[in-house]
Structures are given as structure tokens and as C-alpha cells.
Structure 1
């Protein structure tokens, strides 16, 4: 690899730190999703099931932290939407831009701020934080990138941030 192979193209460098794909959820946070999620993992925490407990501990119902991204994830298909609906679109854009057909997530960190409450309408937005020069790993030649997904409620309060490190790569011949 030469220095030219590893340099970050200007169009990609211009995206670092910029908000992309800001999307307001099509539906408010609601109990059915919370109960279905809790039931799927047998989470019997009364905070999510009992009105009195929720009122006493958090001033009303909140969603489990693990559901933060659920409120803003697009359905795979939606009436009137064109093409496949994807979350983490910046990741897929980078795969296409660098012609890297394979990718994995190597790290995910979540930071939570305000809880999601019933009726909240969540807006997500993606921010590309960094893209590495080309690297060779056991998987192949590619690049690492870090993408933050920020979540806000209808009042603008920060609910949380998911930070993903991905590695897009192409397998080397014979690998």
C-alpha cells in the first residue's frame, strides 16, 4: 500500500463531524413495544409493568435502555418509502464509497442520558467521527470507521448516543 492508497478522500473527510440522516420516528414510544420487549427476555422488572412503581421511581413509565434505538429504527419496508430502509446508513454509504463489500462491527458503546418516556417521539441522527487509513487485518484490506448515532426526544433533550466502530473490508485473493 502506498500513502495515496491510505489517504482519506476529500469528500469523506468533509463528512467527519457533520450530522447526516436526521430522522424523526414515525411513531411515539408506547407500552406495547415495551411489554413485548420485556416479555421476549422475561424481564419482570415492575418499573416496566406496574403503574404505581413507575410513578414512584421515575415519575411515570420509561422504556428499558436497551430499546433506545428501537424508537428510531426504520421498518424494513414502509408505505411510500423508496427502496430498502436501513438504520446506520452512514455505514452502508462508506462500504459503497470505498468499494468494501464486507463489514463487521468491532465495537459498540452506549451512553444514556434522559430516559425515553411514553409518548416521546425520538429523532436520530448519524455523525461520522473518523475513518482510518487502509489497514490489513486477517479479514482483508479495509478501513475502520466510527459512527455516533444520537437520539433526542421531541423537546430536543439528548436521550443517548450509540457509538459504533465498523471495519469495512475486501477479502484478499486466496483468503
Structure 2
């Protein structure tokens, strides 16, 4: 903590560690019981075609009494829902979640990022089960230095129970509450980008990029294009290959807007996209020259090149020019 930052009041560590074992969320029932429509929506969204989630006969054939919910869906039943998310905050129980956040804010740990989640499942949930959840603090770590900033790992334990009070699952949830690192001065030299792992299978790709050529690996046996590069054709198994140069045209197949974790070489937020090339292969890349809110699935894009001193030349994509009517 710098000398200009406000220091927490005396006894801070003791007050923070006193949260260990404290209940953050009292036993809270889910808004709805486990039901088939929500299971179906979840399975479709996840692409999970296991029939025990949607077909009662198929579930009974496995020894179950009927359809069951996917195990990892247990958290979804107890989520607050949209209305509670946008409603004005209501006072929490004394010493609960809001009190812990306020105490962490006092220490300067005003930013948060989830780090990991560990589930233990004790039994499958069936339609008609009504789940409830209770959350307690398991531990608050000593101060740690991380790439995001100095902070503390807060681990809580969520216990999911059925209507009889029997535990059906537990979830150990860990977040990092940290002090955001100071922004670099405007005239600071940009940090180098992470270096790609270049090997014998993909060296041609990066060598082509240095010459502003987007090369795609092609099997010389079945003529199938593939990316990312590899030693063996996934179609026919041939080890023989050559390359073709892509036209540089494509469409956005999918994309994400990356906010965390922050990296000094990137200006956050930034766009990471899967671009489907005109040749049929797909490439993970960055989108430039467009605001996140203006990106759409299927948007036409064209090849551009990211070239910076001391960094490898990499292909990026920008929106394709629109034709005049």
C-alpha cells in the first residue's frame, strides 16, 4: 500500500479473520423446484444430449425413477434471477456478505475476479426436488501478490440441501479481492505481447505472418485444410502436408469481450474472436477497428496485420468495408 492510500483502521487483520466460519447467506430456498423445462433449456444450451435429462423412459432404463438434472446445474436452481439482480439492494444480515465486502474495501481490495469453483455431488436431483443453499466463509488468506495486484483469496462454502435438509451438493467458491494495479503513465513503453509457442508444426504459420501471408496447413493426401496446425491429418491420418494462402476474407463465428485478467500489453477491454475463413477453417484472433457493442455473429471481416517493435507479426481482423448502395 502506498503512503498516499488510506490505511485500514487498527485491528484490521483480526476483524477480517473473524469472518472465518461466519454465515454470509442464510439458508435460502430456490424460487422454483427442479423442473423439466429448465433442464431441457440447460441441456440444449450446453449441447448435452444425454437422454436421462429429457426422456423418462431412457432414464428408467438406467435404473433411475425418472429424468434427472445435470449435476453441474445445481447452482442454477438457487440463482436470484433477473428481477433481484436489477432491484435496488436490500440490507443484508448484520455481518453478512455486504459487511465482508465493506471490510475488504476498507483494506483497498476493491476489485474482484473469480479464480475457481470445486463441486462435490452427493446425489442426483430429480424433478420435484426443491433445493436450498447456505453459504459460509471458509477462509480469508493472508495478503498475496498476484499479476492482477495485491489481494486476498476469499473461499466460501455453499451447501445445497433438499426439502428434508439432506445435503445434495457442496461448492467451494474462491475469489480474489485485490487492489487494482496503478495505470501506466501515458508515455510508458507498451509491455511486450506474450510470445507464441513456436514449434516444428506451426513455424510455417508465424514465418508466413512475418511476410504478411496467412498460411493454412493442407493435407496432401485428402486435400483437407486444417487449423491449428498439427503433424497428422485428423481426416485420413496422413503425415504429409503443404500450405495454401488464405484470401483474408471471413466472418465472425463467435467472440468474447475480455475484461479480466488484465495484461499490460493489451488495452482492456479487447475483442477475441473465432473467425471462419472463406476457405472453411477457423482462426482464433483479435478484432480491431470496431467497438464491442458493434460486433455481430456472421459479420464480414477482412485480414489485417498487427506489427509492433519486438513483437511477432500476427494476423488480426477488422470489419469488411461496406459497399455503397
- For normalisation by structure 1, the TM-score amounts to 0.82
| Cα distance in 1, alignment partners of residues 22 and 126 from structure 2 | 28
Gapped regions of structure 2 (runs ≥ 5): 2-6, 91-95, 185-325
1:36-51 matched pairs, under 5 angstroms: 36-51=41-56
1:27-42 matched pairs, under 5 angstroms: 27-42=32-47
Choose from 60, 68, 73 the match for 1:62. 68
Aligned to 1:132: 141
| Cα distance in 1, alignment partners of residues 28 and 159 from structure 2 | 11
Secondary structure (helix, strand or coil) at the match of 2:82 reads coil
**Residue 37 of structure 1: CA displacement?**
0.6
Aligned to 1:158: 167
Secondary structure (helix, strand or coil) at the match of 1:124 reads strand
**Residue 125 of structure 1: CA displacement?**
0.7
Choose from 28, 42, 60 the match for 1:23. 28
On the 8 A contact 1:95/1:168 being kept in 2, the answer is no
- For normalisation by structure 2, the TM-score amounts to 0.46
| Cα distance in 1, alignment partners of residues 171 and 125 from structure 2 | 15
**Residue 82 of structure 1: CA displacement?**
4.8
Deviations 1:3-53 (A, max 9, x none): x98x76444333312333121112111000000111112221111121112
Secondary structure (helix, strand or coil) at the match of 2:160 reads strand
RCO (CA 8 Å, sep 6+): is it higher in 1 or 2? 1
Bigger mean CA offset, 49-58 vs 13-22:
13-22
Secondary structure (helix, strand or coil) at the match of 1:73 reads coil
| Cα distance in 1, alignment partners of residues 32 and 15 from structure 2 | 34
Aligned to 2:235: none
Aligned to 2:156: 147
What's the Cα RMSD here? 2.4
Is residue 58 of structure 2 the alignment partner of residue 53 of structure 1? Answer: yes
| Cα distance in 2, alignment partners of residues 94 and 76 from structure 1 | 24
Paired residues in the alignment total 165
Is residue 80 of structure 2 the alignment partner of residue 74 of structure 1? Answer: yes
On the 8 A contact 2:19/2:100 being kept in 1, the answer is no
**Residue 174 of structure 1: CA displacement?**
4.0
**Residue 56 of structure 1: CA displacement?**
3.1
Aligned to 1:97: 103
Is residue 124 of structure 2 the alignment partner of residue 120 of structure 1? Answer: no
More helix by share: 1
Aligned to 2:252: none
**Residue 128 of structure 1: CA displacement?**
0.6
Structure 1 122/8 Cα, relative in aligned 2: closer, same or farther at 3 Å? farther
> Which is greater in Rg?
2
**Residue 139 of structure 1: CA displacement?**
1.1
